[in-house]
Amino acid sequence: MASALRSAILRHVRVPAAQAISATGSRLSSARWMSSHDDHLSKEEVAGRVLDVVKTFPKVDPSKVTPDVHFQKDLGLDSLDNVEIVMALEEEFKLEIPDKEAVRIDSCTLAIEYIYNHPMAG
């Protein structure tokens, strides 16, 4: 259910990304343009940004957000809220999380781990 809802929402909010052009006018591969191993985010940077995204979610009391917080059990969010948080994380880190992975991300801990280990997170 959440996956179908997420897909329906994404069909309406996705915007095609422009292709990157280098200074010489040649096209860069999106992987090279968006990320490199030299600028990989530290786990602390990822954690801070994940917590900021969750704290700014409208239904969340920011004082309850910790790196170990579970979205539904601790914050009282529902599955749609969970989808919206994952979408906000995708936007924040400029990456796409496949549906089969997105449904598993139900806490700050899992979000931090997933994003930290994602090679395209920026």
Res. 92: pLDDT tops 80:
yes
Q: What is the pLDDT of residues 110-121, one digit of tens each?
A: 999 999 998 878
Going from N- to C-terminal start, the domains of the chain cover 2-116
Give SS3 for 4.
Answer: helix
Residue 119: the pLDDT is 82
CATH superfamily for domain 2-116:
ACP-like (1.10.1200.10)
Residue 37 has a CB neighbour count (10 Å cut-off) of 6
For the ranges 17-21, 48-52, 58-62, 108-112, which has the lowest average pLDDT? 17-21
Q: Is 81 known to be catalytic?
A: no
Whole-number average pLDDT of the chain: 79
Long-range contacts of 36-44 (CB under 8 A, 24+ apart): 39/122, 40/119, 40/121, 41/115, 41/116, 41/121, 41/122, 43/112, 43/116
Given the residues 61, 78, 81, 99, the one annotated as active site = 78
Q: Does residue 10 carry a pLDDT above 80?
A: no
Which pLDDT score, from 0 to 100, does residue 35 have?
Answer: 41
pTM beyond 0.75: no
